[in-house]
Copies of this chain bind each other. A is one copy, B any other.
Amino acid sequence: MSTFRRRVIPDATIARLPIYQRCLMELEEDGRKKASSEQLAELAGVNGAKVRKDLSYFGTYGTRGVGYDVPHLLHEIRRELGMTHDWPCVIIGAGNLGSALAKFGGFVDRGFSVVAIMDVDQSKVGHQVGSLTVRHEDELPEVVKEFDISIGIITTTAAAAQDVADQLVEAGVRSILNFAPATLDVPYGVLVRDVDVAIELQILAFHEERRALSEAEIV
């Protein structure tokens, strides 16, 4: 066993890395070779100190007096994020959202490919979604093995979500992206990230409501 201890990266930093990556991709497309932390910060919508601190967790990729080398930094961030290889994903739930995600090509160029879409509903099995054919959920273990899948995307109803999560975990998947409005219970070591559009809308509504209230108060 190695005595080397990898530096722990704050969650907040990890969440910003993909944003930096995106900004660096834009800079690279524009043919920019160098970028300062302030320029990167401007693009990412954060402040310069934050960018410098975030990047410093991974080593010293900048040059004082100059800035960061765009292609080099991009490569390093890609490496940290595991974007040097492809991540096969499975979508479970072939409804509106699941189908839209499967058809959407936008993740492929970011290193993610949807290799299978599945559903419990027999009437949906066999249907074509983009270039994929909907398979039955029971085949999950084989599909995970076949494509060496490490990421599962849940787009079922809230009621079915926990069941699907259990099946994913059982099949060996340890990373889950959950679109269902449900709190999933998973064993230690399995990571779930929730995407809940209703929650986002409610947060917006909360602030709108408060705005309306304080305006009423002033008048």
Chain A 1-30 interface 0/1 with B at a Cβ cutoff of 8 Å (1 = within): 110101000000011011101110000000
Interface residue SS majority, chain A: helix
- Say which residue of B177, B183, B206 sits within 8 Å of A81 (CB atoms): B206
A96 within 8 A of partner (CB):
yes
Give the contacts of A193-208 with B (CB-CB under 8 A). 193, 195-208
In the assembled complex, the Cα of A181 lies from the Cα of B44 at a distance in Å of 11
Asked if B175 contacts A82 (CB within 8 A), the reply is no
A209 within 8 A of partner (CB):
yes
Which chain B residues lie closer than 8 Å to A175 at the CB level?
Answer: 204-205, 207-208
Q: Which of A47-55, A65-73, A105-113, A164-172 contacts B (4 or more CB under 8 A)?
A: A105-113
Chain B nearest Cβ from A182, distance in angstroms: 8
A80 within 8 A of partner (CB):
yes
Number of interface residues of A (CB under 8 A): 67
Asked if B217 contacts A2 (CB within 8 A), the reply is yes
Asked if B177 contacts A200 (CB within 8 A), the reply is yes
Which chain B residues lie closer than 8 Å to A198 at the CB level?
Answer: 18, 106-107, 110, 112
In the assembled complex, the Cα of A20 lies from the Cα of B107 at a distance in Å of 32
Which chain B residues lie closer than 8 Å to A160 at the CB level?
Answer: none
Asked if A208 contacts B174 (CB within 8 A), the reply is yes
Q: Which residue of B lies closest to A44 (CB)?
A: B183
Q: Which residue of B lies closest to A198 (CB)?
A: B110
Known interface pairs A107-B198, A151-B208, A201-B87. Does A181 touch B100 (Cβ–Cβ under 8 Å)? Answer: no
Q: Which residue of B lies closest to A103 (CB)?
A: B96
Which chain B residues lie closer than 8 Å to A151 at the CB level?
Answer: 201, 204-205, 208
A63 within 8 A of partner (CB):
no
Q: Which residue of B lies closest to A200 (CB)?
A: B193
- Of all A-B residue pairs in the complex, the 3 with the closest CB atoms, nearest first, are A82-B209, A100-B100, A175-B204
